[in-house]
């Protein structure tokens, strides 16, 4: 059953690819220029080319037929292709008969076949071919009435009966007419089938819309047609044809420098229509999904597929490519301009993929550093991927700087790669600190402050880059070319990348400042109080040589309680409010009888890093911010470069052509 389901899924996609290919051809076909060429040729007197408006109507009819083929149910689509295949087989059979009759006329021999070896060979070859055609037609149409597909055998039967050659020519024409009448009869008998299908489809669609709504209908069609996979297959076929055309017309293989130019121009040729652009978008999304899946598998093995993250589906990269292409008018440019612009867009998409890989690797690397896992292979995989994410974005930035002169606009373009490398460097630094803490079996002093400074430095640099992009975008909007899409993206960028980041950073700073003030306002426990308490810190499960006392009478390490206060302002045990006012100096000591939730029995002590890792992560949450949807992620990555794209394209086009071409 699994194999059958896979075959049905392959047929569901493969049989619909020609309909999109037809849409692509119809979009590229310029009817007006076609008729201008006809008028300058010898076909101008042909009555078929006299009615231009009829051809225009046929052009739109082609669109309708393509859409019908695209939306047909799989069963009817398979049946339609079988009918088309049968028609092609019948045409091939008549071609064989015509070639045989022509060869017999050229030879001029009308005697018995067995007396002429060449004539016998021609007859045997034609007969075998015709029998194969008849058998295939019978199998395709699933009928035992093989005589329905045997009309093209009449010239062979006549030749076997020693009929004159002139009569055989007439019999061949009669066989063609008879087959044509059969096809017309079949079409006439099934004339109402399209109407019945349309009526049934309309009734089902109306019921779905009435019960579930238009959104459910759109999602149902999206899933049934498998549009992402369909457009990806269509684009890959288009790209393969483009590559094959190039190499079939070249005698010598291209050089290494020309390979990059060939790759870009081939992609540019395959995204000159809305259909091919959608195909490229879905192809990039699937490539990004494959890279991110390999990244997860490399880090976690098969466990990565148990807790799959819906944030990393390749959707961000595809939507980024689509918005940039629409914003810059990619399909309206010439091929060489389109290839240049694609080089910049693909650079941004690759930088976005690397950023997504870092988002996958960052928590895994930090968890390995804070855990007791001693597997060297896991640590090697995590560190090696981080080193790759450290070096490769820097290499990308270096390579693009080799093509263009360094200025402010180029710095904005490569800012994503530079920030990725800086963030990886910070992750590796925190990982090293965790490993040092694990080897020492004791907490590193001011670890939280170091982590806060590392993350804060990266966030500050990212905020400054976002602020520069907003400033330039506003200046371009006010003094340069104004567009609705550009202004919308500037507003989204200013909200998500500037305003929200500034709010999160300021809230994080206030939380840390208030936590420090509250810890300083709490009294320190004396040695006698610690001896009477005789318990461990309820946060880190470690012995307490020094502690602070909360207003509710609980003892904690000052550093542990400070990390807790970064998250919430209540006691970790009783959840009572911790006020920042200082208690009197003669504060009452802790009661001798501990409350019911306090235990003198010490649980088994675990390494400090394993127990405090959760609290450390909680203390970083104000710096990381809440999880972002794919829409927010697109705005965060897209808006860094949109403002300078138009200026950058026109400024460096001549340098690109001189360097690459």
Q: Report the alpha-carbon distance of residue 592 to residue 12 in Å, rounded.
A: 76
Q: How far apart are CA 37 and CA 5, in angstroms?
A: 49
What's the rounded Cα separation, in Å, for the pair 464 and 413? 14
Tell me: the pLDDT tens digits for 368-382? Answer: 877 777 788 888 999
Overall residue count recorded for the chain in this entry: 661
The residues facing 555 across adjacent strands are 549
Q: Which residues are catalytic?
A: 537
Q: Are 120 and 114 in contact (CB under 8 A)?
A: yes
Q: Collect the ranges in the chain with pLDDT lower than 70.
A: 1, 31-57, 251-257, 306-312, 406-409, 411, 441-446, 480-483, 485-486, 579-661
- DSSP codes joined into one string, 341-365: HHHHHHHHHHHHHHHHHHHHHHHHH
Buried b (16+ CB within 10 A) or exposed e, 385-399: bbeebbebbbebbee
pLDDT value of position 580: 52
Tell me, what's the pLDDT at 37? Answer: 64
Q: What is the pTM assigned to this prediction?
A: 0.73
Q: What pLDDT, on the 0 to 100 scale, is given for residue 236?
A: 94
Rounded CA separation 651/404 (Å):
10
The residues, ordered by sequence, that sit 6+ positions from 429 with a Cβ below 8 Å of its Cβ are 454
For residue range 507-560, list pLDDT tens digits in order: 877 877 777 787 778 888 888 888 888 788 888 777 788 888 888 888 888 878
With both helix axes pointing from N to C terminus, report the angle between 17-28 and 274-300 in degrees, rounded to the nearest 10. 140
Burial classification of residue 524, based on how many CB atoms lie within 10 Å of its CB (0-12 exposed, 13-18 middle, 19 or more buried)? exposed
Contacts of 121 (CB under 8 A, 6+ apart): none
- Beta bridge mates, 543: 536
CA distance 545 to 524: 11
d(CA 509, CA 503): 10
pLDDT value at residue 658: 42
Pair 646, 481: CB distance under 8 Å: yes
pLDDT value of position 288: 92
């Amino acid at each position: 059953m699994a194999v059958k389901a896979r075959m049905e899924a392959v047929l569901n996609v493969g049989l619909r690819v020609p309909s999109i290919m037809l849409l692509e051809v119809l979009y590229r076909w310029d009817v007006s220029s076609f008729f201008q060429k006809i008028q300058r040729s010898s076909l101008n007197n042909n009555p078929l080319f006299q009615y231009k408006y009829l051809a225009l109507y046929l052009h739109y009819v082609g669109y309708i037929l393509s859409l019908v083929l695209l939306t047909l149910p799989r069963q009817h689509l398979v049946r339609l292709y079988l009918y088309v295949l049968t028609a092609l087989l019948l045409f091939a059979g008549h071609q064989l008969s015509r070639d045989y009759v022509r060869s017999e006329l050229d030879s001029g021999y009308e005697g018995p076949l067995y007396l002429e070896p060449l004539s016998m060979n021609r007859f045997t070859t034609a007969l075998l071919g015709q029998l194969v055609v008849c058998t295939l037609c019978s199998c395709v149409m699933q009928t035992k009435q093989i005589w329905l597909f045997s009309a093209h055998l009449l010239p062979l039967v006549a030749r076997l009966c020693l009929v004159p050659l002139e009569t055989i020519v007439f019999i061949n024409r009669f066989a063609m007419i008879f087959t044509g009448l059969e096809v017309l009869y079949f079409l006439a008998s099934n004339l109402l089938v399209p109407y019945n299908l349309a009526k049934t489809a309309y009734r089902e669609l109306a019921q779905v819309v009435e019960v579930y709504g238009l959104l459910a209908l759109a999602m149902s069609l999206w899933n049934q047609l498998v549009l992402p996979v369909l457009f990806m297959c269509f684009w890959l076929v288009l790209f393969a044809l483009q590559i094959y055309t190039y190499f079939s017309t070249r005698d010598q293989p291209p050089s290494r420098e020309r390979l990059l130019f060939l790759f870009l121009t081939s992609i540019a040729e395959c995204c000159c229509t809305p259909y091919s652009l959608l195909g490229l978008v879905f192809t990039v999304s699937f490539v990004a999904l494959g890279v991110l899946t390999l990244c997860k598998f490399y880090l976690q093995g098969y466990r990565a597929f148990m807790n799959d993250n819906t944030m990393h589906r390749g959707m961000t990269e595809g939507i980024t490519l689509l918005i940039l292409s629409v914003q810059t008018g990619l399909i309206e440019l010439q091929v060489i301009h389109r290839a240049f612009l694609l080089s910049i867009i693909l650079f941004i998409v690759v930088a976005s993929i690397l950023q997504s890989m870092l988002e996958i690797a960052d928590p895994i690397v930090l968890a390995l550093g804070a855990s007791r896992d001693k597997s060297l292979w896991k640590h090697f995989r995590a560190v090696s991927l981080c080193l790759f994410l450290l070096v490769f974005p820097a290499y990308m930035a270096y390579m693009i700087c080799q093509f263009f002169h360094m200025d402010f606009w180029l710095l904005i373009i490569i800012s994503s790669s530079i920030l990725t490398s800086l963030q990886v460097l910070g992750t590796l630094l925190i990982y090293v600190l965790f490993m040092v803490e694990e080897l020492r079996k004791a907490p590193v002093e001011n670890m939280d402050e170091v982590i806060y400074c590392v993350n804060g430095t990266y966030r500050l640099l990212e905020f400054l880059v976002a602020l520069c992009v907003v400033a330039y975008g506003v200046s371009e909007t006010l003094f340069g070319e104004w567009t609705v899409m550009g202004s919308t993206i500037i507003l989204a960028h200013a909200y998500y990348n500037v305003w929200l980041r500034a709010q999160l950073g300021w809230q994080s700073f206030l939380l840390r400042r208030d936590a420090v003030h509250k810890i300083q306002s709490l009294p320190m426990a004396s040695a006698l109080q610690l001896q009477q308490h005789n318990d461990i810190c309820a946060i880190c499960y470690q012995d307490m040589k020094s502690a602070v006392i909360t207003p509710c009478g609980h003892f904690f390490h000052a550093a542990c309680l400070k990390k807790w206060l970064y998250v919430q302002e209540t006691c970790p045990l009783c959840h009572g409010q911790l006020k920042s006012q200082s208690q009197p100096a003669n504060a009452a000591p802790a009661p001798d009888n501990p409350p019911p939730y306090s235990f003198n029995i010490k649980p088994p002590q675990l390494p400090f890093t394993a127990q405090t890792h959760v609290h450390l992560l909680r203390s970083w949450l104000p710096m990381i911010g809440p999880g972002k949807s794919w829409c927010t992620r697109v705005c965060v990555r897209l808006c860094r470069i949109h403002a300078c794209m138009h200026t950058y394209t026109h400024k460096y086009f001549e340098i690109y052509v001189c360097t690459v071409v």
